[in-house]
Amino acid sequence: MANKISRRSFLQVFSTSLVAVPALLSVKNLFAANTTPPPGPKPVEETNPMAKALGYKKDASTVDAKKFPKYKAGNNCSNCVQYSKLNDGWGKCKIISAGPVSSGGWCNSYLQKKS
Ligand code: SF4
């Protein structure tokens, strides 16, 4: 009897972990997105001369829309034609090439990708 309970408990814990572990890992990955730059050159800083000249912001929502009227909500590097994805949070830009740019960034050279 003790063996049956023990086996049942084991199966319950095992089956729960089959669901719980992948779920926890995917939640962890959600929070990891956008925070880990890929290996290689450091991400472009807003103070980089080219980035500064183009009004690059790591977070597109902080763009001064009065200064850059071309900016529209929803425009960001990840949907710009100049962007090549490196990982979920970072990519290469053909214009600002000193290092990776944030997928959620924006600059005045933005050109929307055709879908
Ligand atoms: S050109 Fe496009 S990908 Fe490059 S920084 Fe500007 S908005 Fe981002």
- Contact (Cβ atoms closer than 8 angstroms) between residue 101 and residue 83: yes
Q: Per CATH, which fold does 38-115 belong to? A: High-Potential Iron-Sulfur Protein; Chain A (4.10.490)
Residue of 45, 79, 106, 111 to mutate, ligand 1, most atoms within 8 A of C-beta:
106
Q: Is the pTM of this model over 0.85?
A: no
Nearest protein Cα to ligand 1, atom 4:
93
Average pLDDT along the chain = 84
Examine the pLDDT at 28 and tell me if it is beyond 70: no
What pLDDT shows up at residue 4?
A: 60
Most confident of 18-22, 29-33, 35-39, 75-79: 75-79
Rg of the chain on CA atoms, in Å: 22
Domain residue spans of the chain = 1-32, 38-115
What pLDDT shows up at residue 30?
A: 47
